[in-house]
Every structure is written in C-alpha cells, then in structure tokens.
Amino acid sequence: MKTTQLSRAIFLALLVAGSAQAAKTDVTIGMQLEPPNLDPTGGAAAAIDEVVYANVFEGLTRFGPDGSVLPALAKTWEISEDGLTYTFELQAGVAFHDSSAFDADDVTFSLERAMAEDSTNAQKQLFANIESVENVDGAVVIKLKTADGNLLFNLAWGDAVIVAPESIETLATAPVGTGPFIFKNWVQGDQIVLEKNAAYWGEAVALDKATFKFISEPTAAFAAMMAGDLDAFPNYPAPENLPQLEADPRFSVVLGSTEGETILSTNNAIEPLDNVLVRQAIAHAIDRSAIIEGAMYGYGTPIGTHFAPHHPAYVDLTGKSEYDPEKAKALLKEAGLADGFTTTLKLPPPAYARRGGEIIASQLREVGIDTEISNLEWAQWLEQVFKGKDFGLTIVSHTEPMDIGIYAKPDYYFQYDNADFQALMESFNAETDEAKRTELLQQAQNIITDDYVNGYLFQLAKTGVASVKLKGLWENSPTQANDLTGVYWED
C-alpha cells in the first residue's frame, strides 16, 4: 500500500471511530434500590418514579429540574375566578405506547381511579379535594370542593400520571404510558431497559436506549463506576468515595439538594412511643452531627422538622431537639421509664439507614433505650413497616416534594393523629394567598416538632456522579426522578 493510501486509510479509520464515539446514544444509569413494581399510581417506593417519571409516564403537569410546575399532557389551563374550576386543554396527537389514542377520557379515568374509595394510590390525599372530573368537548374540567392553590403542584406528582384503562392489569410489570421512552424489559434483580419512543408526541429525546442497573452495595457501586460499567449514578450511595471520583478526570461530581427529609420514623400508636415525653427523649438522645458525619461523611443538612431547608417557608427548629443526653434521661424518668425500654429498629437498605441506624442505636443505648435491629430488603420494609405498621422505629428519607401533608393522615405508617393539624392542612390547601400559605406551613412545622412525631435528622444531599461527557442530568431532585428527557452525550 502506498503512503498516501495508508494515510487515507488511517484518516478514514479515525473518522469512523470519532463518529462512533460522537454517535453514542445509549446510557447506563446506576440505582441503589430496585423498584418493587413499575406502577407509580399504586406503589409508594421512590425507586418507581426514578425509572418511569417523565420517561415512561406523564401527567397533566410535571416538575422541572428547578422544581417549577410545567405543562405536560395539559397544553394550557384556565382557572375560574372562584378557584373551584380548572379547565385543561390537552396536547394534540398524543398516543400511548400501545398505539391507542390518548384523550380526556383517559385523564378522567386516571384521576377517578386515584381518588376512588378503594384506591391503592400512595398519595391518595392529593386528590381528596377533587369534586369531579369530566370530559367536556375534549377538554378536562376538574371541579374542586374548595379553592386549592396546590392543584397544579399535586398533578405534577408521579402518583398523578395518566394511564389507560386497557393497561391497568399489567402496569406493575409492563408499564404503558405516553412518555418519550417505551418500557422494553425487566431482568429482576439486575436491570430495566427503556427504548426511545419514535412516535412521541413532543420533542424527541437524544437517547435511543436507557438501562437502569440495580447495585445495592456501595462498594459495588464504586467498582462499577471505576470499571466504566455505568455512565452515571445520579444518587451515588457511597459518599466516602466522592473525593476519589472527583479527582478522576473521567467523572463529574455534582452536589445538589433533594426533597429527602431523612427521619427516625416513630410508631406513634404503640407504647411507650405513644407518649410525647418518650418521643422527646429520643429526639434529645440523637446527635445529628455525628449521624451526618458517620453515615454520610458530612453530606447532609440538619433539620428539626419535616420540611426542606431550601424551601422559602422553612423554619429552623433544630434547637427544639438539640443533643442533650441528660435531658433525654430526665424525660424518660418523667415518663415513668427511668430504667429505659426496648423497641425495634427496622432498617431498609440505603446506607443512610444502615449506617445511621448503628449510630442511632448506640446513642439511644446511652440513655437507656435498647433497640432490636432488623436489616430489611426494600420489599420487606414496604410490607412490614409502611403497610403493616409493624415497627417501633425505622429510618427513611421521604423524597416526595413538600409532603408535610402526610402528617394529616392518621392511618399513615407512623400513625400520628392530631385533629388540629388536620384542620390546619385543610386551611392550607384551600388558601391561595402565598403569604398566608407560608404562615400556615410554618405553623404546621412547629406543631409536628412540638409533638416530636418523629426524630428529624437531616436533609439528604444529592450526590451525583457521571461521565464528564454526559450532560442534562438533574443537579437537584425536586422530585424522585431520573428524568432523561434532556440527557445527551457531548461530542
């Protein structure tokens, strides 16, 4: 071969290689928890939305990466002067992944299903104020019982996505939505694969394929990133490795905020945890700083109530449960438990729970409270703790956006029943004036703090790790989602 021919061949080879690299359109995303099912309208696990929110399923509205509420299947909406009627004009040309047409009847079906008496929707209270949903000449008309400044926000939750009646029976294992990605397959214990929806009604996504790999062990997550088996781990589970990853030029480490209030959830309905003095003693026995350092390597913001510090209405109430072991002992004595007591501490898989649980158990032991630790898999935790309410204490991050309203649900898993709080949240839901809404939210924060409903630990930080060439992942987590609609590979 002549020199010029050789040079031309090398040039073409390099050009092809460069084009192949530039043409990368698949991504592999790491997740610590595998979802128990794929129906966001019938399951409480955050891992469900982390796969399907905005990717497979869509609602009338949706959250943007900054937490703002944006149009989705609803193109526009009008609100009546009295705030009781919302009329939504739907996007045109939308079809479900099975090619069936999307229309206002699907919206009516989905919302009526969510608000039905026998609904299994984990956030059923989001729809409690809806009086009726109707298809009026192709538009969706929602009538409310009382004016509700939260409606557009509530409709952006993953629990409010729109589904078709024909696909209900298989939603949990073979979800059919209207989103830019189509469910391809699920290898239990390993991965879920999504593929680009070529017939998507909206702006086409850049990715042709997305694989969600489930890696529960932090050490395995680190090994997978270093080996190049993953392109990103948006909620990286091993904060101790972040400095090493940050120093590696292959990776970008982004620290953001989440809606994840990490709490020592307490069963308020069983003895002696039904005594506010006991719950207060637990709060004062906990050293948040030691937990954040020991379990999260310093990543996390201390909280004293169930509310995100980055929210404008946040009140810093950490002083009401400052670390004071002697005060904790005195409160136990006042409650008639000078010799302490024993309860269960059931821990789901995330590192913040397993590592934090060991630290909290040690701190509680110092004041006379012994805990029987059980390490549960996620499905076990959902069954025993969340559904069965069979626990004394547990640790979990509540990652839903501004979800203080769960304290108005007496049958929620920590079984807090306060009529005054419930009335306050009803007033909040009906209020449209922003200043008054802020005042009510701040009152709500104080009530649950003064009742020591739970042990409020820290706001979970979002520690994301990704290839430096992968762009468009969310920096913060205004809702639990790995939204891939804006993700692409940089040339």
Give pLDDT, residue 430. 79
Q: Quick one: CA dihedral 242, 248, 254, 260, positive or negative?
A: negative
- When pLDDT is cut at 50, 70 and 90, the band that residue 351 belongs to is confident
Q: What is the mean pLDDT of residues 220-235?
A: 97
Q: How many distinct structural domains can be found in the chain?
A: 3
Stated pTM of the model: 0.82
What CATH number should be reported for the domain holding residue 73? Answer: 3.90.76.10
In sequence order, which residues have a C-beta less than 8 Å from that of residue 12 and are 6 or more positions away?
none
Do 290 and 383 reside in the same domain of the chain?
yes
Q: State yes or no: pLDDT of 86 exceeds 90.
A: yes
Helices vs strands, H then E, count in the chain: 13, 19
Do 137 and 197 reside in the same domain of the chain?
no
Do 410 and 319 reside in the same domain of the chain?
yes
**Over the stretch 32-74, which tens digit does the pLDDT of each residue have?**
999 999 999 987 788 999 999 999 999 999 999 988 899 999 9
**Over the stretch 354-379, which tens digit does the pLDDT of each residue have?**
999 999 999 999 999 999 999 999 88
Q: What is the mean pLDDT of residues 139-152?
A: 92
Q: How far from 456 is each of 149, 233, 416, 425, CA to CA, in Å?
A: 27, 27, 15, 20
Q: In whole angstroms, give the CA distance from residue 326 to residue 9.
A: 79
Q: What is the mean pLDDT of residues 231-258?
A: 94
Residue whose pair of structure tokens reads 């469910």 in the numeric block: 183
DSSP 3-state assignment of 328?
Answer: helix
What CATH number should be reported for the domain holding residue 484? Answer: 3.40.190.10
Residue 425 lies in a domain: yes
Q: State yes or no: pLDDT of 10 exceeds 80.
A: no
The one-character DSSP state at 477 is B
Phi, psi at 412, each rounded to 5°: -65, 160
**Over the stretch 188-203, which tens digit does the pLDDT of each residue have?**
999 999 999 999 999 9
Q: What is the mean pLDDT of residues 295-320?
A: 94
Give pLDDT, residue 22. 54
Give pLDDT, residue 39. 96
Cis amide bond preceding 272, omega within 30 = yes
In sequence order, which residues have a C-beta less than 8 Å from that of residue 108 and are 6 or more positions away?
133, 134, 135, 140
- Could you tell me the residue range of the domain that residue 271 belongs to? 259-461
The per-residue pLDDT of the chain, averaged, comes to: 93
**Over the stretch 15-33, which tens digit does the pLDDT of each residue have?**
444 444 456 999 999 999 9
Count the helix, strand and coil residues of the chain and give each as a percent rounded to the nearest 5.
Answer: 35, 25, 40
Q: What is the mean pLDDT of residues 78-86?
A: 94
Do 246 and 372 reside in the same domain of the chain?
no
Q: What is the mean pLDDT of residues 406-418?
A: 96
Beta strands in 138-239 (DSSP E): 139-144, 181-187, 191-196, 209-214, 232-233
CA dihedral 260, 263, 267, 268 (to 10 degrees): -100
CA dihedral 158, 36, 460, 177 (to 10 degrees): -20
**Over the stretch 413-446, which tens digit does the pLDDT of each residue have?**
999 999 999 999 989 887 878 899 999 999 999 9
